Chains A and B, each alone.
Chain A
Amino acid sequence: MTIKTPEIESSKNDGDIELSLPLQQDLTDWQTGHEFTVVGKPHSRLEGAEKVTGRAQYSADVRLSGQLYGAVLRCPHPHAKLISIDTSEAEALPGVHAVISQNDQFDIDWYSEEAPLFSDQLRFVGDEVAAVAAVSTEVAADALRLIKVNYEPLPFVTDMDQALADDAPAIHDGDNRVEEDSEYERGDCAAGLQQADITVENEYRTQTALHTALEAHGATAHWSGDELIVYESTQGVHAIHGLLCEKLGLPMNKVRVIEQHMGGGFGAKQTLWKPTLFAALLSRKAGRPVQLLLDREGENLATGNRNSTLQQVKLGASNDGKLTAIKMTCRINAGAYATAGEASNVAGIFQHLYHCENVKTSQVRVYTNTGPAVAFRAPGYVEACFALESAMDELAHKLEIDPLELRRINYTGRDQTGDKPWSSPDGLKTCYERLDEEFGWSQRKAPSSEGSIRRGYGLAAHEWMAGMGNPPAAVFIKLNTDGSADVVTGTQDIGTGTRTVLAQVAAEAIGLPMESVRLLLGDTAIGGVAPVSQGSFTVPTLAPAVRGAGENLRRQILEAAALLLETDATTLEIKDGEIVSTEGKHKSLTVADVCDELAPQSLQAHGSRRANPTDTTIRPFGALAAEVAVDTQTGEITVIRIVNAPDCGRILNSKTANSQVIGGVTQGIGFALTEERMVDHNIGLVLNADLEEYKIPTVADIPTITHAEVNLPDLNANNTGAKGLGELPLIPAAPAILNAIFDATGLRFTQLPINRARVLAALQAQQETAE
């Protein structure tokens, strides 16, 4: 068979050639009931074999010839002036190849405050003072010990409340407020509280929590001529790329950032931190590749944290449970500097979760002499959900209304701040239904007691301000001459399964089996721009672009097949790599055959992320219920069972989605019960910059966690119907657990985490009042 090769206009970027098949814009067909062959299936991770064999290469595993090892000298004082620094002995140590410090006079600034890279004002324990590169990590550590620094300790304040006192030392110029209070009001909150039949009011405190990704921050930097190549552990290769160019004054075509695997970030790796730049500067100075990875102490002190908060919450309601007013005032511990990235929006959930006409919120960030805060998986919402949902539980208890019913009574399908509907107005309602089904909330037993053990149940709901995805994202698919496809993206897989899920979307859109699709990511020199993997953005940003590119490619394949088969392209489809009729009949022609006929020409297609709709607000939601046992003798808390029903739109891969749910809930258990960065406010030191006393959950701390799938495609959001999931499961975990503890014991905790010390103190107080 000989045919005329179709003309493919590769100059038109989005594959917008005049074809008879529908364009990307019209892709509304992935409705509920649509039959999928790949999407939604529990596909195992594509990089699985690499990860279980130890062959996956993380940033720390890069080995380049002549590679040196870096280390960072940190300030041991919470606040100090650097008088002088002498690095000469370190430089003279055999094996040391470069030392950088204030003496180098780099013209580079850092943080939102534009502090110098090496400042003589040191504002927290762990603030970077110098960095070295040497032939081994041991020699690098020896070199740090040889650097002589003369510090003048300054008055400091590490406690957020004390930082606002009139006589508190100023951390920057001014009164230790990072900015003006950010205020919001709708309706008349005071009047709403007046109208209320009942009010609840409490002050809630959440702790400083540490991201604790197992892989520390760090990078391997290597100059090849005047081009800088950086292997980085990051949630955003393109963000790092842009920031490195900006800080080093380099054009973008001279910097390349690579990351194939990363060992966890949870928000802390969404922006550039100093160590990566140090690696680049040391490497330039030494003329050799430099790998600089933080030790756990540096990681815990100086690469961000979930800001602690103090929230004053007051709810007013009528006797039938309707909220008449919500008031929240909040203080946030920003640490010593303001960092870029996702904002900690504590106020958001108070404004959005429930129908309420009178809402007033106010939040302000406060400087302290502690490590800077940065977004941590649902920043603000995790802290705020604890307060709001504890208060709602208290309200339900006082009104003697079932907690789930109270939430239904205050349901809203609208974005009350933007005055438009949610993209899936029934999303949260469906979460409630699924939660009720899977947990058996309505059928739950009364709280029970057996010996010293009390059992109880609690729940919490939430929305999440992100998870909608946003342009830009550009995707390019190249069809190889054997009919397999390379999908080229500029995103990264931070362990969430991006590689796998996007490959599924591509396979589905083109009509290829999974084995025929390779998904490329994590290299700024290859992939087009993509957002940082933060705010549960990756899937809802990339998947629609991948689908668009895939559909464009499919149209081209079908056009070519139609020419070969001398038929109309609209009568054809691609299934599993084969050309079939729209009725499903085989045409004895495969995608590979089409490619073969086209060779040496090949097909390629582009896709890009379209803007979000403006007439609706895209929102993911969720609800979670917990069953908890409390030993009233010893204060031991055991989480027995958790069910989480998150509305993330369409579930593209049930296996990786489940993992997100159990993972997020597991982190929530740590936030509720054990995790807290400890600071001695007398001497300003962080006491648990380690994994020993910063206690994340172990395997034995975990209950049975069930993902109650909601799987409600949100086609108002984008052409795949998928929204973000990554952050959702963590948000409601702590309040649900705490509400269950209340149900079991009658103890209402307003400060996290609820460790033994706090439980026992409260139990004791309870017994004393009972006596």
Chain B
Amino acid sequence: MSDNSPTSGKQLVTMTVNGEQTEVAIEPRRVLLDVLRHDVGLTGSKKVCEMGDCGACTVHLDGAPVYSCLVLGIECAGKKVDTIEGLAKGNQLDPIQQAFIDHDAFQCGFCTSGQIMSLKALFEDSPKPSDEQIVTAVSGNLCRCGAYQNIVKAAQAVRDEAKPETRNDD
């Protein structure tokens, strides 16, 4: 941009999305969720309430789970954003993803990427979480299909199988 005064027009913003430097031209009012879904082309994070009420849009911002519908894209300049699409390595599923399949931790699947991202953050912090920590980790992720019981079971299975050294480093 030629002049320094802030503008409401589009600006170039660079962030690291799933490990890749990504440049987007966005208006300041575009929220991170829309940046991901429309400018980056990653539609795994879902738009449901846009008000921080449901968790379907959960991504990691500099490692911490946040609602991407309540983050501006423009404030992510220079930051690290991780989404559901970055979890599997090729077709090698993350253990949480596999456990979700094995324990039928979803029906329609619309809340699933958010649930998994919340749990991923938990397991990165504490590979052996208590049941209470598991419930707290997904307490901001609504599931209308009511898969909660199996979501918790899937997380417990990951925990009970995780040896301390299998902690994922990325």
Residues of A within 8 A of B (CB): 44-45, 47-49, 51-58, 60-61, 63, 136-138, 212-216, 261-264, 266, 293, 295-296, 494-497, 655-656, 658-660, 662-667, 690-692, 696-700, 702, 704-705
Contacts and interface: CB of A to CB of B under 8 A. Distances in A.
Contacts of B97: 49, 52-53
Given A698-B142, A702-B148, A704-B149, A691 B44 contact: no
B38 A264 contact: no
B149 A295 contact: no
B88 A214 contact: no
Contacts of B51: 296, 690-692
Nearest to A730: B146
Interface of B: 27, 29-30, 34, 37-38, 41-51, 53-54, 56, 83-85, 87-88, 91, 93, 97-98, 100-102, 104, 106-113, 116, 135, 138-139, 141-152
Interface of A is mostly: loop
Nearest to A67: B38
Contact of A696 (B27, B100, B142): B142
Given A138-B29, A691-B48, A699-B139, A659 B113 contact: no
Contacts of B141: 699
A261 B146 contact: no
Contact of B107 (A54, A212, A497): A497
8 contacts: A53-B93, A54-B45, A63-B43, A263-B110, A296-B48, A296-B49, A495-B106, A658-B104
Enumerate the 5 nearest inter-chain pairs by beta-carbon distance, A residue then B residue, closest first. A54-B44, A666-B146, A495-B108, A263-B110, A51-B109
A61 B29 CA distance: 21
A54 B84 contact: yes
A314 B41 CA distance: 59
Contacts of A57: 43
Contacts of A58: 43, 46, 110
B134 to A, nearest CB: 9
A264 B101 contact: no
B41 to A, nearest CB: 7
A58 B56 CA distance: 14
A697 B151 CA distance: 14
Nearest to B148: A699
B38 to A, nearest CB: 7
B139 A698 contact: yes
A52 B101 contact: yes
B108 A264 contact: yes
Contact of A692 (B44, B53, B100): B53
Contacts of B27: 138
B148 A666 contact: yes
A672 to B, nearest CB: 13
The listed residue with most B CB atoms (<10 A of its CB), out of A213, A261, A264, is: A264
A494 B108 contact: yes
Contacts of B148: 662, 666, 697-699, 702
Contacts of B101: 44-45, 48-49, 52
B67 to A, nearest CB: 12
A137 B39 CA distance: 12
Interface of B is mostly: loop
Nearest to A53: B88
B93 to A, nearest CB: 7
A292 B108 CA distance: 20
B145 A264 contact: yes
A48 B100 contact: yes
Contacts of A216: 48
The listed residue with most B CB atoms (<10 A of its CB), out of A137, A655, A698, is: A698
A634 B44 CA distance: 41
Contacts of A63: 41, 43
Contacts of A700: 135, 139
A215 B110 contact: yes
Given A264-B145, A700-B135, A54 B83 contact: yes
A48 B29 CA distance: 35
B147 A663 contact: yes
B164 to A, nearest CB: 24
B109 A295 contact: no
A655 B51 CA distance: 33
Contact of B104 (A55, A293, A659): A659
A275 to B, nearest CB: 15
A51 B143 CA distance: 14
A53 B146 contact: no
A60 B51 CA distance: 18
A636 to B, nearest CB: 17
A104 to B, nearest CB: 28
The listed residue with most B CB atoms (<10 A of its CB), out of A49, A51, A52, is: A52
Contacts of B142: 214, 691, 696, 698
A554 to B, nearest CB: 29
Nearest to B151: A699
B100 A53 contact: no
Given A138-B30, A296-B50, A495-B108, A705 B149 contact: yes
Nearest to A703: B149
Contacts of A662: 146-150
Contacts of A665: 146
Contact of B46 (A48, A215, A266, A658): A215
